Amino acid sequence: MLNLPNFLTLIRIVTVPVFLVLLSSGLYLEALMLLILAGLTDALDGAVARFTGQQTPLGTYLDPVADKLLAMSSFVVLGLIGSLPFWLVVLVLTRDIIIILGYGMIYFLVGERLEVQPSFIGKINTLLQLLTVAVALLFLYDAALLPSRVREFFIIVTAATTAVSGFQYIYRGLVWLQNRTHSLPRLS
């Protein structure tokens, strides 16, 4: 049965195509408002799940998927229209692709699912990525509202946390894999 936190997460997933249509149509203020709504559902679904004890395995997988769908698609479109630098888009996409492939390889090599636990820096990175999208949208809507230094600050800090969290996830995956493969019986 679908509980309220998972329903809120599904709403966030459904907003992604609408958000992208608004963004690609040049409706930046509307896209920003929808991004804020998506952010509120993200905060709300987690709070409701913890407060009511409705945390589910489905929610554990859906929540990061919703975040990544929104962040990655936003970065791609904002990069294509020139609002975010291409190198940042490549960095964000590469990090997430490496993490996904890494977890897939671990499952393939060991035959066991690695429990995905977002790190503190990973959570901060997701927040900064979405704030960077919001700043880019606000800048597109009316560049006079923000000094360009604010946009540049978010770009640099997001790039730094993306790189650091990416290396941290790679390190955690390699340590887990090394510890797991040492406990497996060796074939002679």
Write the pLDDT tens digit of every residue in 161-182: 999 999 998 888 888 778 876 6
DSSP characters over 62-102: HHHHHHHHHHHHHHHHHHHTTSS-HHHHHHHHHHHHHHHHH
Residue ranges covered by each domain of the chain: 4-182
Residue-wise pLDDT tens digits, 57-107:
888 888 888 988 999 999 999 999 999 999 999 999 999 999 888 878 777
Residue with the larger pLDDT of the pair 43 and 115: 43
- The rounded distance, in Å, linking the Cα atoms of 58 and 40 is 20
Pick the CATH number of 4-182 from 3.30.565.10, 1.20.120.1760, 1.10.1740.110, 2.60.120.200: 1.20.120.1760
**Angle (CA) 20 151 18, round 5°:** 10
Residue-wise pLDDT tens digits, 97-143:
998 888 787 777 777 776 667 789 988 998 999 999 999 999 999 98
**Confidence category of residue 13, pLDDT binned at 50, 70, 90:** very high
